[in-house]
A and B are shown apart, each in its own frame.
Chain A
Amino acid sequence: KEKLVVSVLKEHFGDQIESLGRLLIERGPSTLRDIITLSNLELMDARQSLLVLIQHNMVRHLSEEQLKQRNEEQNELSEDKKKDKDFNDDKKKFKTPPKAIDKTEFEVTDLRPQELVDAYIAEKAKREAEKKPPKVRVFYELLMDEVLMLLKTSKFVSLVKTLFGDQGELVLTVLLTQGRLSLHDTIEEALVEHHKRRQEQENDDDDEARNNEWRGGDVDDRTLKRQLREAFNGLVQNRFVKRVDVPVSSQPRKDEEKESKTLLEEMRERKKSKTDYVVDLPEKTKTKKKRKRSVEDEEEKPKKKKKKLKKNASDTEMKDDQDDGEQKKKKKKKKKASDDLAFDEESDEDEDEDAKEQELYKLFDLSAAPLPTDKSTTATTSTEEKDEEEKNVCWTVNTDQFVRYYRNEAIVQFIGNRINNIVGELAKKMISLTSPYERTKNDYISSSITFASIREICSTSDMLSNFSDNKINLYLDMLANDQIKIVQRMANMHQGSFVINLGNISGALKKQYCESIIEQKHGQIGCRIFRILLDKKQLEVKQVAELAMIPPNEARTLLYKMLQSGVVLLQEVPKYADHAPSKTFYLWKVNLTEVYKHLIDDMYKTVNNLRARISKEHKSTLQLIGSGGQKLSEEQTEVVLKLEKAEDRMEISIIRLMELLMFFEDF
């Protein structure tokens, strides 16, 4: 898995970030100082790389206390897990422990103030200074799962395309490539992307592969912007895109929180308030409640400007930090400022948007200057100030929601296959009721659904509309009495409330896939033995052979083969103290979690292999094209086409493998 992470980092970000990633994987959470000394990167390079990774949500920072807390918790859980963590030692490049770690405080003075990290550290130092002498050590940790999400992006994009159309696809692509963006920037980038694609389509006029959707008339930028905004709105409402909160000092934020909470509660039309937001924050600030904002809400904010004005002072710091992040991005996008200006179109419909754009230009001006500390200089009207705040809010892709979506889909399909289509439809409706309430990416049980709501929901579906209460009860009973216990009844017997056992179903799904992989590898009889051992827990060879109806020799060879590939385990039970082999019992058993771990490892290795092969094929394609000059002979074109086909095939396999890995790891 680590190899894959490193290779993905290299492919997407380059050598510097790859070396940083490798270091973080080997050492675990490290301070910036450690990183600099151990990776031979210069200070600026290291910080730059870290920032890029933070931008993409792949690195997060922890304070020393949090790290300690986490380590303690893990120590409590089990000592075996500690042994697993020693993989760091095996893969360490540095044989001697790094001597550079000294426990002096991390010096803040020689860093530039605009940096996001610095601002945070400064804030923290300030806070700490009140209580005790400041000793701030910030640890950076690489989130491997986030890095691997890069491989699954194509799936996400295609899903969003089906749900939200082309505009949604644009928005998501932009967010994925940039990591985090504010609303305005996302839309701007999406527009740019749209125009780019249009151009490419026009250039490829002669090509057979033509996307006709794009050619359907010249959609003007105004409507496109609106459509993009709507798509963005949709993504946020369905939790595919989430807000990123930049770390700030907790106190002012809390004040602002209280006020804004009431604000939002008034404004909010939706009752679903349990949706969670990212918290890319250290734990101290996690006391903040999570809230949801949509573009609609933002547009309604101007009405509540008076309340917002009260928060001027407290907003300063928040704005500072957000601005830091913003300015970093804006420096990169200064070239596009001129483009932005070009989009400034006057129209009745777009007055609001224009106002917002105006504010953005003001911010651009500010970006050249040092930190805007005084809010009064920046905001002339309260609308602007609110819009600025909105502009400073960063959004990013919520990968958990995608996982949830796929999981629910898989569950519904499983139920449909297992029983029948009607029950599948019912399950689909029930899940659509509960999915907005799901908190983590793999909840064990869904939230409860009352019978009344089920009845309601049935009336909305074609298949289930004519169902009487009895019939619904019948189907629910069928689900409850199934071996896997798909649904559980709570409260009263009839007309009670129900809970879907998502965990049970995903467990059954995993088992199914696992068994099919084992069947492929060890044959039908191997799979039979696997199931026997799962059922009976521990058996001797003779017993296994009897139950499986195969000769004992065959059973023995299969069991040893499966032992080699990590599917089964062997337990010795000696009869006498001298452990004589003829006088000990040898019991075979299966540990499902271990099997899954092995399978996941194998799959990651396979992904690595495929990527290696793809790069090799790619090189040979380039060589062929390079050597032939512009015009290639027929033979060469054939070969090139073949190679391209091969590459496509392998890439598709990688995508499918990553999907399967999601099943095993995340579900």
Chain B
Amino acid sequence: MANVSEQKLSEIIKLYERKILAVCKTFPDGITDPDLRQHCPLSNARMTAMNGLVSSGRIRLYQDGTTIIYKEVSQEDAALYHGLSPEDITVLEIIKNSANKGEWQSNIKFKSKLQQKQVTNILAKLKTKNIIKSVKTIHGKKKIVYMLASIEPSREITGGLWYTGTDFNLTLIQDLQKKACGVICQKKQCTVSDVLGAVKTMGLTDNIELQEEDMQTIIDTLVYDGLIEKSFDPRSNLYIYKEIKNLTPENAFSEIPCSTCPVFEQCTENGDVNPQSCVYLKQWIEF
């Protein structure tokens, strides 16, 4: 009799486990306890089933304010979380949520509400297990973010093509600018793809994957420098770029040292800085 009830109980528990998992699947955002009770009325069996699932890592508990939510853990995650303590998993979840932008250590500490030392240890542990990695950002030399090892860091934090490590690669940009300008001047008028193709054929950029977007940004800087002109071609529905022939004219104001004088604002006739004794004017006159 006891055996039969035990057997039945274990069957019910297994049934409940399957049911709970199925229900959780239908609620990817999680299911609360009262909702679960509807599907699995027997509280004892339900509790045992839940415990079993949690310990095997198939379900995780989350706290949303005062309510507890149960969410299914995917198989990948289950593998990931295998052998980790709940604190580790908390930290890991935070890092996972930051996707490809990564998370600073101080933020992790704030969100997980754990001690500094604890967080550091956990991060070290996860790193050694190759679950997460640290990435240097361009926003500051000592700024490091943590993200999942499998994810590519986003352009925002690495700077994309234009940053080698954390340093701005000015020479590369200037190089590309010159080449693009040369191509446009030669061809009289061309689109972005033309320029890209031409630059690629020139070589020297083989070790960099130059995309059309990158070329677009370079060409835009040339437009903003006043070297080329942008116009819309309605036939091909693309923007075409032409060289501007008239260069900015020489102007009288720039010839005079006052235009670039660092103390121009303080210069008055009776002040310490005055035109009568101005050194810059003196040099200019004697030139």
Contacts and interface: CB of A to CB of B under 8 A. Distances in A.
Among A483, A608, A609, the most chain B Cβ lie within 10 Å of the Cβ of A609
A388 to B, nearest CB: 47
B256 A653 contact: yes
B43 to A, nearest CB: 47
Interface stretch (A69-77, A155-163, A509-517): A509-517
A609 B225 contact: no
Interface stretch (B15-23, B116-124, B247-255): B247-255
Interface in B170-203: 173
Contact of A610 (B220, B231, B254, B275): B275
A417 to B, nearest CB: 4
B217 A517 contact: no
Interface in A523-567: 524, 527-528, 531-532, 535, 546-551
A605 interface: yes
A485 to B, nearest CB: 13
B110 interface: no
Interface stretch (A79-87, A283-291, A328-336, A654-662): A654-662
A606 B224 contact: no
B258 A609 contact: yes
Nearest to B156: A542
B267 interface: yes
Contacts of B223: 531
A406 interface: no
A517 B275 contact: no
Contacts of B229: 483
Contacts of B254: 516-517, 520
A657 B253 contact: yes
B44 to A, nearest CB: 51
Interface residues of B, number: 37
Contacts of B269: 608, 612
Given A616-B276, A650-B285, A519 B248 contact: yes
A586 interface: no
Given A609-B278, A646-B285, A649-B285, A483 B224 contact: no
Given A548-B224, A549-B218, A521 B255 contact: no
Nearest to B168: A551
A414 interface: yes
Given A528-B221, A649-B285, A520 B252 contact: no
A517 B221 contact: no
A605 B248 CA distance: 24
Interface string B21-60: 0000000000000000000000000000000000000000
Interface in B227-280: 229, 231, 245-246, 248-256, 258-260, 264, 267, 269, 274-276, 278
A569 interface: no
Contacts of A653: 252, 255-256
Contact of A657 (B256, B285, B286): B256
Contacts of A532: 224
B104 interface: no
A656 B252 contact: yes
B248 A515 contact: yes
B248 A613 contact: no
Given A521-B259, A609-B267, A547 B224 contact: yes
A531 B285 CA distance: 33
Interface string A613-655: 1001000000000000000000000000010001001100100
B165 interface: no
B131 interface: no
Given A528-B225, A549-B221, A650-B285, A513 B249 contact: yes
Contacts of B250: 516
A527 B226 contact: yes
Given A527-B225, A531-B224, A660 B251 contact: yes
B99 interface: no
B281 interface: yes
Nearest to A614: B275
Contacts of B248: 512-513, 515-516, 519
B81 interface: no
A483 B256 contact: no
Contact of A548 (B221, B246, B281, B286): B221
Given A528-B221, A549-B217, A616-B276, A606 B256 contact: yes
Contact of B252 (A528, A531, A660): A660
Contacts of A649: 285
A603 interface: yes
Interface string A99-135: 0000000000000000000000000000000000000
A418 interface: yes
A602 interface: yes
B256 A549 contact: no
Interface string A392-433: 000000000000000000000010011100000000000000
A519 B251 CA distance: 11
Contacts of B220: 547
Given A521-B259, A602-B259, A659 B275 contact: no
Among all A-B residue pairs, the 5 with the closest Cβ atoms = A656-B252, A609-B275, A417-B246, A520-B254, A516-B248
18 contacts: A483-B229, A512-B246, A515-B226, A517-B251, A517-B253, A520-B253, A528-B221, A547-B224, A550-B168, A602-B259, A602-B264, A606-B256, A606-B259, A608-B275, A609-B278, A646-B286, A653-B252, A653-B256
Given A531-B226, A602-B258, A610-B256, 5 more contacts: A548-B221, A551-B168, A605-B258, A605-B264, A610-B275
